């Protein structure tokens, strides 16, 4: 059942699996509690049960059922916590060794992509900046892409649904995250923090392509030497 957009990142699958794990717990809990809610409506409706029984529920032998249910809930909760912990570590903590470094800068209302110049280091004079509405971030397939997220003005949020990746971009701080995309294609980048009038137009692309195509694109950028804006 394909309710997610198709996943193209290495850690995306774990998030989908996590969803289905939680869904299993939730489905069971939902069915059980629905039964607890609906069954008495028939069994104990005033027609079938003209006289109610006096149960305060403060006796152990009654309240223990609530306790049992809560313990089960707590247990499943911590199973979920355990299951998710690995993926969280992968995505949010220190990124792996970078094959490709890029800078991604948010501004009202598009994403700016900064490729390190020939020296391969970001934030130097020879960086190549692609700053256009609807421009694309070109990345090679199956490589660890480590990117620095920054914002020029207000809070934005970098959302690449196909990679199951989202990260708010607060002005005044640099966030270093990574992904590794495993499927060639062109995917939407959107901004999920309301950032002004054209928030809904703040859409760029990630283009995942084979290594040599990517190389060709970068070389063309260097020759054209991009448009230097925004960065100092």
| Touching other proteins, residues 118-157 (CB under 8 A) | 123, 150-155, 157
Shortest Å distance, C-beta 224 to other proteins: 21
Report strand pairing: 128-131 vs 110-115: antiparallel
Asked if 89 and 108 count as a contact pair (C-beta separation under 8 A), the reply is no
Contacting residue, 13, 65, 119, 227, with other proteins by CB under 8 A: 65
List phi, psi (to 5°) of 203: -135, 125
Stretch 22-51 residues interacting with other proteins (CB under 8 A): 22-23, 25-26, 29-30, 33-34, 36-37, 40-41, 44-46, 49-51
Asked if 120 and 101 count as a contact pair (C-beta separation under 8 A), the reply is yes
User: CA-to-CA distance for 109 and 197, rounded, in angstroms?
Assistant: 9
Q: Examine residue 135 and say whether the peptide bond preceding it is cis (omega within 30 degrees of 0).
A: no
Nearer to other proteins, 31 or 216 (CB): 31
User: CA-to-CA distance for 183 and 7, rounded, in angstroms?
Assistant: 9
Size of the site for other proteins (CB under 8 A): 92
Stretch 84-113 residues interacting with other proteins (CB under 8 A): 84-85, 87-89, 91-93, 105
Q: Is 172 in the site for other proteins (CB under 8 A)?
A: yes
Q: Is 13 in the site for other proteins (CB under 8 A)?
A: no
Shortest Å distance, C-beta 199 to other proteins: 7
Q: Is the dihedral of CA 121, 123, 127, 131 positive or negative?
A: positive
Nearer to other proteins, 138 or 150 (CB): 150
């Amino acid at each position: 059942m394909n309710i997610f957009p198709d996943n193209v990142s290495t850690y995306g699958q774990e998030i989908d699996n996590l969803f289905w794990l939680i869904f299993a717990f939730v489905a069971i809990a939902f069915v059980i509690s629905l039964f607890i809610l609906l069954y008495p409506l028939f069994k104990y409706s005033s027609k079938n049960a003209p006289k109610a029984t006096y149960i305060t529920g403060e006796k152990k032998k009654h309240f223990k059922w609530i306790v049992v249910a809560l313990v089960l809930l707590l247990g499943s909760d911590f199973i979920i916590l355990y299951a998710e912990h690995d993926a969280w570590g992968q995505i949010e903590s220190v990124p792996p060794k970078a094959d490709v470094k890029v800078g991604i800068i948010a501004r009202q209302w598009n994403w700016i992509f900064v490729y390190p110049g020939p020296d391969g280091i970001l934030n130097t004079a020879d960086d190549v900046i692609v700053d256009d509405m609807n421009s694309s971030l070109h990345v090679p397939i199956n490589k660890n892409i480590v990117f620095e997220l920054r914002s020029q003005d207000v809070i934005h949020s970098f959302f690449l649904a196909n990679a199951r990746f989202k990260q708010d971009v607060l002005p005044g701080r640099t966030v270093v995250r990574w992904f590794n995309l495993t499927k060639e294609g062109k995917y939407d980048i959107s901004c999920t923090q309301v950032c002004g009038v054209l928030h809904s137009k703040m859409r760029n692309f990630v283009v995942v392509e084979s290594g040599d195509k990517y190389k060709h694109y970068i070389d063309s950028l260097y020759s054209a030497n991009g448009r230097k804006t925004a960065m100092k």
